[in-house]
Amino acid sequence: MIRKFFALCICLMLLLGSGIMDTSTASAASSSTYIQRYKTNYPEYLKKDKAIADAFLTDYNNSESQALAARAIWYMENGYMIYGHYKYWDTGFIDCSNFVSLVYKDFGYKITSASKNYNQVGAKVAGVYSRKIKGSSKYELVGIENLRPGDIFTFWKEDSDGSGTHIGHVALYLGKINGKPTIIQTVSGRPTAIGITDDFSYWYGEHFAGARRVLDDASQYPGKTWKSSEPVIPAKYQLPPQNPVIMPESKFMAYAGINSTVAAADSQATSIEMSNNTSTASPVNNEKIIPVQSQPDDPVDNNTRHFTFTSTGYYHTTSCFTYLYTASSI
């Protein structure tokens, strides 16, 4: 009997050991898979997403709304995000609603991180809707002239029981770029979890629910004083950075108003303390570069069937990322 008991214990120990080995192997495979996706999808990202991002930056005017949109692009290029329903700042995983709330939080705005509640965020932008193009299966957005950078797009999905619909996806509006309304969001087929979309012909047009506005009117112009915190660097990456992560230039971090050049000069970064639209500026360190750090084996992402991201040094004229990765399919 005692022999049987010891034999059983040994078997259990072997099984547990095998389980640990499998978990470790799966974790390593997960990180390797993300890196391969990055490399696979990077050429397409350079061709489309980065080109659109660069076009956006060409018209950057130091306003809060454009700075917020630029921060979303920074995360696309430097966040090395992976899609998943976790806390980005801890794990490197992110989903659509967490992404939008993260960008807004960097600028001091606290909004919901649950997509289903986004129809209550800010105020509805009037006159913006989608419609089916007559004689076609395609859709188009109407009322684009009413939109502003930083507006939040909401999209509906059917309830699981078929009883109705709910807000199931959200995105940030960048503006009308190259003649097209453009959003940034979690999306598939990108190096990481974030990508740019400028086509509302099909799903995005059919499922468009509306646009919401959090920023005030003054945020659209460079006359307003604003500041932002530094981008969030996660404690752990699922997709390790393939190159040093370059922090935003000073003009994307703060602005002291149209009559001041303190925060606009690339050579002099500033930190703005704001209270009731008054501000004082104090010098801070110039642009930071965070070196690449090796990462331990990461847990397997079980939420890869959704939207995804991209990465390059878009705040500079030359690309700072030479290796790419991709995301998963919707």
Q: Would you state the pLDDT for residue 12? A: 45
State the residue for tokens 């980005």: 88
Q: Is 153 within a domain? A: yes
Q: Is 256 within a domain? A: yes
Per-residue pLDDT of the chain (330 residues; tens, 9 = 90+): 555 554 545 444 443 343 333 333 344 558 899 999 999 999 999 999 999 999 999 999 999 999 999 999 999 999 999 999 888 999 999 999 999 999 999 999 999 999 999 999 999 999 999 999 999 999 999 999 999 999 999 999 999 888 999 999 999 999 999 999 999 999 988 999 999 999 999 999 999 999 999 999 999 999 999 999 999 999 999 999 988 899 999 999 999 997 644 333 333 333 323 223 222 233 333 345 444 443 333 333 333 223 222 333 222 222 232 223 223 222
11: tokens are 């078997």
Domain of 106 in residue numbering reads as 32-290
Q: Is 301 within a domain? A: no
Q: Is 12 within a domain? A: no
Q: Is 312 within a domain? A: no
pLDDT in tens, 265-284: 333 333 323 223 222 233 33
Here the CATH number for the domain that contains residue 54 is 3.90.1720.10
- Is there a contact between 87 and 102 (Cβ–Cβ < 8 Å)? no
Strand partners, 77: none
- Count CB neighbours of 298 within 10 A: 23
CA distance 209 to 194: 21
Among candidates 140, 125, 116, which has minimal Cα distance to 65? Answer: 125
State the residue for tokens 């004082």: 280
- Is there a contact between 206 and 130 (Cβ–Cβ < 8 Å)? yes
Q: Would you state the pLDDT for residue 29? A: 56
Cα-flanking dihedrals φ and ψ of residue 282, to 5°? Answer: -135, 140
CA distance 154 to 116: 9
Q: Is 322 within a domain? A: no
164: tokens are 């109705």
Q: Which amino acid is at 96?
A: C
Q: Is 325 within a domain? A: no
The count of structural domains within the chain is 1
Q: Is 119 within a domain? A: yes
Q: How many CA atoms lie within 13 A of 270 on its CB side?
A: 23
Cα-flanking dihedrals φ and ψ of residue 93, to 5°? Answer: -85, 150
CA distance 214 to 46: 31
Q: Would you state the pLDDT for residue 299? A: 33
DSSP 157-185: EE-TTSS-EEEEEEEEEEEEETTEEEEEE
